[in-house]
Structure 1
């Protein structure tokens, strides 16, 4: 029978190997994605300008047309530069810190509001003024020892090019990378759409939040259309001042880079995605084994502690 120490050592080696494999496979996936994303962005712009809004594009001066194409190329180049494990992990760190700062500010505001409400409730017209006692030096020292910000307590050690050798850390690493990747593609899509709106290709005046909502819902209400394009039908209700007006329907098309569309067009990208899925299946299996082993270790430690305490009392 394999001992507890031997079993732990074998599992640790397997998890460490899988962590390195995840890093290599995800890097290959991003390399394949970077090789196509600029081309797909320009192709989406081409479809939008020539097949959906040809009149608007033709109405531009020749210099404006070239400028639009140049800016799309530059946007694609910037996106490619950000599609690395290091860049995506750095973006994940910045977002985690920003979210922690916002949460801390909200908690502080809520605490201050609660204290103000308590002070207001304690006040009474009949009560005599009371002099506040001086805070003891011990309390002041204790407050000074407290961290100035909850951001300092954030544990971002798992956001390294190679994740720590533990299933939970690898899973958190993978989720952070995936979220950063999707945000990067959405950011590129937003930048491209702002450019197209500025150039008069995309209809202006449509509230940006409508497009944002459609993108965040992964195009749930979109019509079928070319890859990496979002085709929307927006119905606007008449204003309260002009109730006699009928609702209007707006057909809107915009660039929306989707991983599904990008992967469908590139065999190497589909292969890299399949390798990632294989790694995830291994991670799930190892996760169950590690959890069982940790439970086994906890039981062994508890039994040893029980025996020691029992023998001490006898």
Structure 2
């Protein structure tokens, strides 16, 4: 039994090395992915706004003065500058279990976002996190302490925890894209490009639930809506609206380098899912072996 427990522990150790190798590869991919993502979002944001102003609502755009057109273009660029800030903030808010390896990994992923840390971005929840782990000390020991502390339980990691972190990072990206799209649509309404009589809340809800919209525009990162007005009359009053809707799948698809990085990230996700099945099975066997050993050691014959 003792040898079985030792073998199972060794098997789990081998799996843990594989998981950490995948985590290191994932962090390296995000290091390339985030700067490229932010640059591509800016280009596609400008392109989508151009499509709205010149192809969908040309009359409204032409009605603007020259200075208003200049201000519009400048404001769109300024709005994009909030995207990396929001992304940094969202990833900062991701809750991590008490695990040094995961905390280190999250810190490294966060450092890949090309945005300088601002203390105003740190939420109160982060203060609770630092009570358990000194962030500065963890970062300082990133390259030195991993090998020294490899037997510490706080450095062991199961695939499920890493998968969860990856899912939440991707969710943060999507949330920030929705927020940016809403900010741009709201501004385009304020200056008279998008119809002002469409409640901003409707546009916001449509961005969060595309499957409930009437149809999707053929142009990348644009959303076509058919909005029915409730004027309590027998006549159906439907207004077609085309709004900005930045989608991560379209953003990645339209940039070869970003798409390549996403495919690599997806492969890691799949590898982790495969490892998770093996890990859970091996861990269950290990727990059973420990329980059987504990039963025998505590058994007293009458």
1:153 Cα deviation from its structure 2 partner: 9.5
Preserved CA contact (<8 Å) 1:38 1:79: no
What residue number does 1:300 align with? 289
Instruction: Call closer, same or farther: CA 1:276–1:155 in 2, change over 3 Å.
Output: farther
CA distance in 2, matches of 1:164, 1:228: 41
What residue number does 1:67 align with? 71
2:268 matched to 1:279?
yes
1:277 Cα deviation from its structure 2 partner: 1.1
SS at match of 1:3: helix
What residue number does 1:290 align with? 279
Unaligned 5+ segments in structure 1 are 94-148
2:172 matched to 1:175?
no
Residues 138-217 of structure 1 aligned to structure 2 (within 5 Å) = 165-217=157-209
Pair member with larger Rg = 1
What residue number does 1:260 align with? 249
CA distance in 2, matches of 1:72, 1:164: 45
Preserved CA contact (<8 Å) 1:197 1:203: yes
2:240 matched to 1:251?
yes
1:218 Cα deviation from its structure 2 partner: 2.5
1:237 Cα deviation from its structure 2 partner: 3.3
What residue number does 2:301 align with? 313
Instruction: Call closer, same or farther: CA 1:218–1:267 in 2, change over 3 Å.
Output: same
CA distance in 1, matches of 2:81, 2:67: 21
TM-score, normalised by the number of residues in structure 1: 0.72
What residue number does 2:112 align with? none
Instruction: Call closer, same or farther: CA 1:88–1:272 in 2, change over 3 Å.
Output: farther
What residue number does 1:230 align with? 223
Identify the range of structure 1 (25-34 vs 254-263) with the bigger mean alpha-carbon deviation. 25-34
What residue number does 2:58 align with? 54
Count of residue correspondences: 250
What residue number does 1:14 align with? 18
TM-score, normalised by the number of residues in structure 2: 0.75
Unaligned 5+ segments in structure 2 are 96-124, 143-154
Q: CA RMSD in A?
A: 2.9
Instruction: Call closer, same or farther: CA 1:291–1:45 in 2, change over 3 Å.
Output: same
CA distance in 2, matches of 1:195, 1:164: 48
SS at match of 1:224: coil
SS at match of 2:216: coil
1:87 Cα deviation from its structure 2 partner: 4.1
